[in-house]
Amino acid sequence: MNTYEHTPVLLKEVLEYLDPRPGNIIIDATLGGGGYTRAIIDRIKPDGRVLAVDLDADAIANFKELPLAPSLEKRGDATIAQGNFAHIDKIVKNHNFPAPDGIVADLGLSSYELEHRGISFQTDQPLDMRFDLSQPEDAKFILNSYDKNFLLKIFKEYGEEKFSNQIVKKIFEARENGIEIKNTANLYQIIVDALPKPLKHKADDHARRIFQALRIQVNHELENLKDFLPKAFDLLVPGGRLLVVSFHSLEDRIVKQFFVGLTKGCVCPPEFPQCLCGKNPKGKILTKKPVTANSHELALNPKSKPAKLRAIAKL
């Protein structure tokens, strides 16, 4: 039974800005449930090709169990690769994949990951949070092993949580009392206990930020995104398009700044009579503002609310 569910967000908009056409070469850098990949294949057949990448072995296994997957791989329409999109250049090289006309990355989480990896506090699960189960450090290890300053740093920077000090204090009280923080329920209760009494009814908001911070740290998500963006853009053919769908402000800020940087040309001082730096714009931003879900999609899939799509074309 297929259990790796993920409703592709902003699918109509992704297809609009990616503009896949028959014969195109496309990379889906975050396969997930395969929603983008399947829609792209329909647009680029009969001669197009897709390279679909995911760090999560369960996502790869799930896609390969789909009825059409074996024939897609056999015909060469789709190449499925497990790997970190931060290494997209090496993955492309290892699979002898041609220079792509478009690359899309959806930074969201699947329902399967939310329900089985301890990423959500809505169900009691072991505190794992790893996308790649072969990596050594999970969320439980970080909570029970790292020092106060490190935990404060990730909660403040990745979670933007104003009660980080109080939460870290409660974590260390548990550790000093010999209590291992190993389940999502353990951590959620610590967060509740750390909050001032008038705010305990809003514990879910604070828990969401702390859980986000831990997940980002466990999977090195921001570092991987920073590595992925320039490599992906360099792989594109001239005119090729790079699309990223992000789900929180930290990711969106990184994407926005990277795209803006690609549009800058000459950086010589205004008083120079002629350009000496030789810099020319490398890209043209296609989305002046991030594209978000419309009311129809929000009604069908409330989880699409934080999604922001940005797109750029290579000059």
CATH number, domain with residue 132: 1.10.150.170
CATH number of the domain within which 261 lies: 3.40.50.150
Span 78-106, average pLDDT: 97
Q: Tell me which of 47-56, 100-109, 111-120, 214-223 is least confident.
A: 111-120
By CB atoms closer than 10 A (0-12, 13-18, 19+), residue 153 is middle
How many domains does the chain contain in total?
A: 2
* % the chain with pLDDT above 90: 79
Domain check: are 122 and 240 in the same one? no
| Residue that terminates a domain, selected from 204, 219, 234 | 219
- Going through the chain in order, the beta strands assigned E by DSSP cover 25-28, 49-54, 78-82, 102-106, 241-246, 283-285, 308-314
> Helix or strand or coil: residue 49?
strand
* % the chain with pLDDT above 70: 94
> Helix or strand or coil: residue 185?
helix
Sign of CA dihedral 51, 55, 61, 66: negative
Average pLDDT, rounded, for the chain: 93
Q: Report which of 146, 117, 120 is spatially closest to residue 129, judged by C-alpha positions.
A: 117
Q: Which residues pair with 52 in a beta bridge?
A: 28, 80
Say whether pLDDT at 209 is over 90: yes
Say whether pLDDT at 71 is over 70: no
Q: Give the pLDDT band (50/70/90) at residue 173.
A: very high
| Residue that terminates a domain, selected from 219, 243, 277 | 219
pLDDT digits (tens, 9 = 90+) for 248-290: 999 999 999 999 999 998 888 888 888 888 889 999 999 999 9
pLDDT digits (tens, 9 = 90+) for 289-311: 999 999 999 999 999 999 999 99
Provide CB contacts within 8 A for 266, sequence distance 6+.
275, 277, 279, 280
Q: Give the pLDDT band (50/70/90) at residue 66.
A: confident
